Homo-oligomer: A and B are copies of this chain.
Amino acid sequence: MKAWLSRLKADLDFIPASPEELARFELSHALPELDCKLVPDPSLGEGYRLERTGDQAFTITGGPSGLLYGAYAFIQRSLAGESLPDFLESSPRYALRMINCWDNADGSVERGYSGSSLFFEGGRLSYDPFRMRELGRLMASVGLNVLCINNVNVHFPAQLLLEDALPDAAALADIFRPFGVRLMFSVDFSQPMRHGIPTADPLDNAVRTWWKETAARVYSAIPDLAGFLVKADSEGRPGPFTYGRNHAEGANMLADAVRPFGGTVVWRCFVYNCRQDWRDTKTDRPKAAWEHYAYLDGQFADNVILQVKHGPFDFQVREPVSPLLLGMKKTNLAMELQLAQEYTGHQVDIYTMIPMWREVFDELPSDRIMSLAAVSNLGRDDNYTGHPLAAVNFYTYGLLAWDPDTESLPAVSRWVRLTYAFSDTEEGKLTELLLSSRRTYEKYTAPLGIGWMVTPHDHYGPNPSGYEYDLWGTYHKANRDAVGIDRTSSGTGYLLQYPESYQRKYENPETCPDLYLLFYHRLPYAFRMKDGRTLIQRIYDDHFEGYEEAKAMCTVLRTLPFPEPDRQVILSRMDLQLGNAREWCDIINTFFHRLSGAEDENGRKIYD
């Protein structure tokens, strides 16, 4: 049993009949000394109520999966050594708490760093049932309830999930059902064209009929399917634009098809021009989602959810919250996070995300959205997440999807205590290391919100000009005098997509928070920061500090009594991270030194 589940002690060698049966199994094995009574109460839905009824006796009341969530919450508190409450009532803030797997039918995982797909191999569903049950427990233990098993880029033959492979998919849905987990499928908007229909126009009757019949067939096999996830008109995917239709017309057509069965269409808003000419300074990629969707606010069906990445670019280490999440007030919204460390070290570098997510929620009232999704970081590696410490992201994501007010420190601290049998001091050290890991990574990579200084395509390692003359709309335009894109009203106007209070916070470089400075502004290297340092000196300082912090992380990790095989994996990846941090630090500093000619005020070595 893996990740934080290792403390549950008992393997799950059968498919439980119901969440309640599973809850009984978990409680009896994890806490045999306690007397826990389970009282079904469907009116509580996914929520639960926990009451102490004696010194060692408790009652958990809840709907079917609520009982299970209550049991896991109880078990985790207990195993983490927290005092057990006399009374606790909890229910999830968001109805859909989703994991999006970018798994392809051939078994590869797009942006996957944990081995091959858990679900697919050789063009078809192929999995280890034991690992499916472990995954079910991993999800249920933190309250996640929707699993989209296939990549949003639907490459053939993944379309067959709605066709020949549907019986196999239904069998997989059966496995996950007792864990309170419903499946979801990514669908190919042009799929009717595989069946002799000459168009995929969402207003075409044959197309609408095909989707309705398909939905009926799919839902008769999997009655509780959560719905369809769609990436349309994005990075080469087909979509409504081909037929001169807007995305409301596209999404609503699918929504009509799944509505009779209670299904939802989750429609991704990741649409931008990925063939931008670098010479074009008018187009500014972060503006794209707003331009494509904001005018459609109020036009989406009630069973459509627009899924918006948390920032306007694409999961960079620092981005402001997407203006679309703030602005679309008459539309169901889900926010998309990414557990897979695509731009953040490929699960080699340690990068704990919850402090970043908290910053996002600081800007975003949690009721602006109604669901949360995260791109999976799981794969067939023994430890599921490639790097053992990357599991903290999956775990804390679950807590946050249940309760977006979850704070970083207790969440990470509980994960550490559940996962490793450490002393309080050791637990404290690892928790602190994890909580600071994102700031460290941010320091040694692209500076102050600028993003994108990664190697194109694989997105691993530094390449300060890698995207500068490319087609992806991600430019910093650093020259001998200045760096950055002016996104204020005097520049591309991106900032104008935000509410006024937000604009005021960021529009003036003198008052804009430092860490967002180069996201919003183009500034000369001699620009004076609030603390009196020049911009270039701040860049140098951050990079030297980031590398030093990586060294310190390495020292801390060596002192911690990780069990094998975690210890070996963690230490060898830390060595790689240290090498990465040195390359990042030196390359970014040299890049800016070559441009600016400025020397480090503290005389540290910057290479020619």
Contact = CB atoms under 8 A, between A and B. Distances in A.
Interface of A: 278-279, 281, 462-465, 469, 477-481, 583, 586-587, 590, 593-597, 607-608
Contact of A595 (B479, B586, B590, B593): B479
A410 B469 CA distance: 41
Contact of A479 (B279, B465, B597): B597
7 contacts: A278-B607, A279-B607, A464-B465, A479-B597, A480-B480, A480-B595, A480-B596
B594 A479 contact: yes
Contacts of A464: 465
A593 B469 CA distance: 14
Nearest to A462: B469
Contacts of A593: 479
A478 B595 CA distance: 9
A463 B465 CA distance: 9
A608 B281 contact: yes
Nearest to A588: B469
A583 B469 contact: yes
B279 A586 contact: yes
A159 B78 CA distance: 62
Nearest to A470: B463
A438 B469 CA distance: 24
A477 B593 CA distance: 11
Nearest to A478: B594
Contacts of A481: 597
Given A462-B469, A481-B597, 17 more contacts: A278-B587, A278-B607, A279-B607, A464-B465, A465-B465, A469-B587, A469-B590, A477-B594, A478-B594, A479-B594, A479-B595, A480-B480, A480-B594, A480-B595, A480-B597, A594-B595, A595-B595
Nearest to A477: B608
Question: Most B CB atoms within 10 A — which of A464, A587, A607?
Answer: A607
Question: Most B CB atoms within 10 A — which of A463, A477, A481?
Answer: A463
A268 to B, nearest CB: 30
A279 B465 CA distance: 18
Contacts of A597: 479-481
A464 B594 CA distance: 14
Contacts of A477: 594, 608
A595 B479 CA distance: 6
Question: Most B CB atoms within 10 A — which of A583, A587, A590, A594?
Answer: A594
Question: Most B CB atoms within 10 A — which of A464, A465, A481?
Answer: A465
Contacts of A587: 278, 469
Can you list the 6 inter-chain pairs with the closest CB atoms, starting with the nearest? A479-B594, A480-B480, A279-B607, A469-B587, A465-B465, A480-B597
A244 B478 CA distance: 48
A477 B594 CA distance: 8
A281 B607 CA distance: 10
A469 B463 contact: yes
A15 to B, nearest CB: 44
A478 B462 CA distance: 18
Contacts of A583: 469
Contacts of A281: 608
Contacts of A462: 469
Contacts of A594: 477-480, 595
A384 B328 CA distance: 58
A272 B465 CA distance: 27
Nearest to A607: B279
